[in-house]
Structures are given as C-alpha cells and as structure tokens.
C-alpha cells in the first residue's frame, strides 16, 4: 500500500460575493501583513548567527513556506471562481445561493444555504453545492418532497421556504 492519494477535486467553481470577499481579505492579510512580519522576524533571526540550531529562523522559514503555499492556492482559486452576484431567473426554484427552509418527517425545521465548496460553514448552516443534500435540493420548488441519502439511510424533507438574499 502506498501513501499516494489522488488530489482532491476543487469542486464546483461558484462562489457568493461574500465568500469571494472573505477569500480576498484572507489573501490581503497573508500577503500584506503577515508575510512581511514573518520575513522581518526571519531576517532578524538569521542575523543572530548559526542558522542550523536557530529555532526562530527554522520556524520562521517554515511559516513562510506555509504562507506562500496558501497565497498561491488563494490566487489560483480566485482566478478560477465565478462570482454569482444575482438571483436566478426563476426564484421559485432552488439554485445556487438559495436559503432553503426544510421540514423533516419529525416536524423539525432546518434552514440551509447552498454555497460553493470554499464557503462551507456548519455553524451558519452553509452547505456545499456538491453535497448530497444540495444536489437533492437543486431544481426543487416550494412544497416539493426531497429524499436525501444520509449515512443513517434515506431521509425525507419538504421544502417550506425558498429565498435569495
């Protein structure tokens, strides 16, 4: 058995304006503030002498590699993403960036928002458009029954509300 794992797919290249702004803020924070501070710390540590046993220098170089890696990823990802900044032509159906209120078989209500894979946030109830639930919801309209394959088996939901903000 080898350690090789195929690269994970980037997912659907869609993002909301808020998600794109968060990615740009992270890129600016890393490139304009964090990287210059770490570079300064590394140059100060290098001036102290022997680099082979200098923990500040070694740690600083590691931090620079991590920052540079994340910056490269963010730049490539932002180029590839398509910002969806307007609601669909038919707002009575569920599409990307919709807030959907669902009721399950037990009468429990759940509200989710369908977003791109870069914006997933369980605390805010943001689910990926590539998730099984979102795939089951896409194209549905009010009062439709939705069957979702969950780890514990199939679950049924009814669409009680659709809105786009």
* Domains of the chain listed by start with CATH number: 14-83 (1.10.287.180), 98-164 (3.10.50.30)
* pLDDT tens-digit map of 94-121: 999 999 999 999 999 999 999 999 999 9
Ordered mean pLDDT values, 10 residues apiece, the chain (165 residues): 71 92 97 96 87 87 96 95 92 95 94 95 95 95 92 92 93
Within 13 Å and on the Cβ side, how many CA atoms surround 124?
A: 11
Provide the pLDDT for residue 50.
77
DSSP state of 65: H
78 token code pair: 């932002």
Strands (E), the chain: 14-15, 82-83, 98-104, 109-115, 126-128, 145-150, 153-164
């Amino acid at each position: 058995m080898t350690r090789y794992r195929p690269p994970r797919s980037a997912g659907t290249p869609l993002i909301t304006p808020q998600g794109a702004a968060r990615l740009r803020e992270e890129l600016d924070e890393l490139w304009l503030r964090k990287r210059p501070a770490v570079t300064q710390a590394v140059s100060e540590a290098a001036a102290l002498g022997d680099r082979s046993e200098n923990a500040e220098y070694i740690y600083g170089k590691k931090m620079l590699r991590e920052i540079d890696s994340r910056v490269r990823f963010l730049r490539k990802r932002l180029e590839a993403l398509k910002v969806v900044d307007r609601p669909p032509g038919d707002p009575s159906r569920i599409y990307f960036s919709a807030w959907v209120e669902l009721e399950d078989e037990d009468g429990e209500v759940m509200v989710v928002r369908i977003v791109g894979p870069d914006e997933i946030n369980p605390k805010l109830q943001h689910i990926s458009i590539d998730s099984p639930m979102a795939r089951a919801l896409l194209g549905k309209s009010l009062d439709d029954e939705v069957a979702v394959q969950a780890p514990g088996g199939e679950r049924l939901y009814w669409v009680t509300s659709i809105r786009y903000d």
